Amino acid sequence: MSMVQSVAFVGGTAGPWRVRSMRAIAGAPLASVSAVDVVPGNEVAVQVGAPWVLRGVTSHARYVTQGESATLRAVQAGLGRPEATHAAMLPISKSEAWWALAQDERRAIFEERSRHVAGTLRYLPAISRRLHHGRDLGEPFDFVTWFEHAPEHDALFDELLEMLRATEEWRYVVREIDVRLVREDGGPY
């Protein structure tokens, strides 16, 4: 069983996740849609009229150390929890300057200076996430991160994003879309 799993995010009018808001934080916006479907596998039957399909693969971790990895595994929660009816999808691209950095330089910005792991630990397990890599696939976004949390943690999630966006790492983000969603079968929201 490979760790590399392909996922397609289909923006259109169908799917279990209804869009609450879409906002371009940096760079060109994505076309507005009313729903997002999250479809595993490489062969996605694209919805007729779906304005966009973003693809990514779950893959091995690129920066975390053995110790950080063990800490994360002990604390984090998976996707699909019944109470986690709110989601956010964050497609992001970083600059060519970021990708031209050596591994030790990217690691130093990512963690030693931006505290990407250490700083986000206190948001776990309330907020769960899964990272999808699109850069090597020739996708328009380097990453799509999918977050899920219970509605009472909306403010906590906003705080997490505010913290991340203030980091040195985020200075390398050249395109970022912020899509907030609610699961249609998720209750009275």
**Which residues lie near a copy of itself (CB under 8 A)?**
1-4, 6, 42, 57, 59-66, 68-69, 96, 99-105, 107, 133, 135-138
CB of 32 to a copy of itself, least distance (A): 27
CB of 40 to a copy of itself, least distance (A): 13
- Give the Cα separation of 180 and 72 in Å (integer): 24
Give the residue with the Cβ less far from a copy of itself, 18 or 135. Answer: 135
Selection from 40, 54, 74, 42 nearest residue 12 by Cα: 54
Find out whether 85 and 186 touch, Cβ atoms under 8 Å: yes
Task: Please give the Cα distance from 169 to 118 (Å, whole number).
Answer: 14
How far apart are the C-alpha atoms of 119 and 136, rounded to whole Å?
27
Q: Give the residue with the Cβ less far from a copy of itself, 36 or 109.
A: 109
Q: Which residue, 103 or 185, is less far from a copy of itself as judged by CB? A: 103
**Cα separation of 139 and 132, whole Å?**
11
Q: In angstroms, give the least distance from the CB of 43 to a copy of itself.
A: 11
**Residue 83 or residue 105: which is nearer to a copy of itself going by CB?**
105
Q: How far is the CB of 29 from a copy of itself (least distance, A)?
A: 21
Minimum CB separation of residue 116 from a copy of itself in Å reads 13
Which residue lies nearer to a copy of itself by CB, 97 or 166?
97
**What is the spatial distance between Cα 66 and Cα 150, in angstroms, rounded to a whole number?**
29
